Amino acid sequence: MKGLCFSLPSLRASYARGLRAEDVAAEALKRADAYADPAVWIARAPADEVLARARALDALPAAARAKLLLFGVPFAVKDNIDCAGLPTTAACPAYAFEPKESAYAVQRLLDAGAVLIGKTNLDQFATGLVGTRSPHGAPRSVFNSDYISGGSSSGSAVAVAAGLVSFSLGTDTAGSGRVPAAFNNIAGLKPSRGLLSTRGVLPACRSLDCISIFALTPEDTAEVFKQAAVYDDEDPYSRTRLADAPFVPGGSFTFAVPRPEDLVFFGDGEAERLFNEAVQRLESIGGRARRIDFAPFLEAALLLYEGPWVAERTVAVGSFIEAHEAECDPTVAKIVLGGRTRSAVETFEAMHKLQALQRKVRTLFAGLDIVVVPTAPTTYKVSELEAEPIKLNSRLGTYTNFMNLLDMAGLAVPAGIGTTGLPFGITLAAPAFSEARLIEIGARFGAALGLAPGAPFLGGAEADEGFLELAVVGAHMSGLPLNHELTSRGGMFIERTKTAACYTLYALAGGPPFRPGLVKGETGAAIELEVWRLPRAQVGSFLAGVPQPLVIGTVDLASGRKVKGFLCEASGLAGAEDITSFGGWRRYLERDKAVAG
């Protein structure tokens, strides 16, 4: 069970081979217990109830099981969404209450056979894009625990990225279903407003709120969306799902990208590089790029927090916060209670402005299939958010805050791993009811990228005979000149780690391309490297291009694991420079750049 993948296709294949829902539920409970970050969960479903539900599913006749399209699939729910039997707290213990029934969308998923594992952490009252505004702690990025996971749906994203559940529900008013997806290398679908009923969801901005879906892949979000997107007579904001605009799956498409002068990354050069590479990758799968004036989108984004819509948060929980301010997060309280200063005149002025912006955006979409933006312009450490909670949060919403105001659907997808070892993501967006189009293009983009979804350790745990794990220490690493030799063959990034402390690293003579040589000895140091998964069908052609004196041998990792990787024959060290003290090829290259500069 250790290597069991919780993606929907993998689970279905395992069930077809005889795996029981009880086995999967037990494994999900075990993973939730063992996961190192205690801030992911606010409440867990009692283990005996989870296992009892799974056994009841196993006991169903085969015909009945076949009708349950989410049979035995473990999932989690953000704790501002009601689940019968568990309290709803919105990350504020003083607010807690026991709902009599599950939210409409949750019940739809339970009726389809899914198994609830628990309620996840969030920015209190779903106010924030950071994941640090909770008395239960800040769920951390699955790539680096110094960094935020993004919010407000922080725990929901981490639960999926860490392989604890197959999918999770979040909410998305300002970007909370997309930013955490980008920071954890998974897919996040923000459906059109009203397609997933928000009955049973504690409002943030009720007229804008959406339930979002996190999963490992766009295809998995589509499966959940199909089950949950059902019209609800009792939700005044519910809308009937309309047919997607005409679009030919697998064909060419036109996508808009903000003009260079409209793009901001707040000094994050890696995010800028990865976004430009994503644009090129979209073109490689049949996309035609068009640069557009992004000003209408940015103007609309400012209305969400700098305009009167913040008062809608005051309507939702302002009275409670005023009565319990000492028990609430101070940043959340400041934002929510700030709505008291907004006037009716401001509201109507903003509504009129938004109407004009919506018209401009509809005009821009003539001849376009989607708009593509960075999901977030950069990311931050938890310590940085604690120092500047509002300013940095605002930056994270640069490319997300406009979407619900402009009545758009959005899909966040992974777009690469930077040289920092942190993931980057893009968002595909289009007018309401375009989910099928976004998911189809998102899936094609993911296939072209070839990046294993979720946490780095997921890829390693789920490696199978169809793939070879390969350690690379030089020009084949992410963002370096020969990385394309891996990605073009379907190579998938697994993790950035180090060797055991018994290796020497050399800068070999010759080039370009300039190459390092890794040599194992009795003593040495731990050298930084990356582990990739390469389809075995592609291994032969890759090895054919490995030049002497480099060879593929067994590399010992700091964790004690052994993988195949690049080593150097002793005969190739003539004229080489010992660069072990740098700890890795990247730091050596940075030294060279500094000297050249």
Residue positions annotated with a catalytic role: 78, 152, 176
- Between vectors from CA 454 to CA 450 and to CA 457, what angle results, nearest 5°? 100
Alpha carbon 490 to chain centroid distance? 20
Question: Distance from first CA to last CA of the chain, Å, rounded?
Answer: 52
Beta pairing, strands 467-472 & 528-535: antiparallel
Could you tell me which of 197, 379, 129 has the C-alpha nearest to residue 270? Answer: 379
538, 486 Cβ separation under 8 angstroms: no
In DSSP terms, which residues pair with 78 in a beta bridge?
120
What token pair was written down for 399?
Answer: 């490319």
Could you tell me which of 72, 93, 96 has the C-alpha nearest to residue 82? Answer: 96
**H helix runs in 285-343, sequence order:** 295-306, 310-323, 330-337
Residue type, 36: A
407, 432 Cβ separation under 8 angstroms: yes
SS (H, E, C) 150-164: CCCCHHHHHHHHCCC
Return d(Cα 460, Cα 190) in angstroms, integer: 29
Alpha carbon 590 to chain centroid distance? 29
Count how many residues are written for the chain.
597
Return d(Cα 411, Cα 438) in angstroms, integer: 6
Return d(Cα 423, Cα 187) in angstroms, integer: 12
What token pair was written down for 34?
Answer: 């063992």
**H helix runs in 72-146, sequence order:** 104-111
- Between vectors from CA 172 to CA 171 and to CA 173, what angle results, nearest 5°? 125
Return d(Cα 318, Cα 332) in angstroms, integer: 10
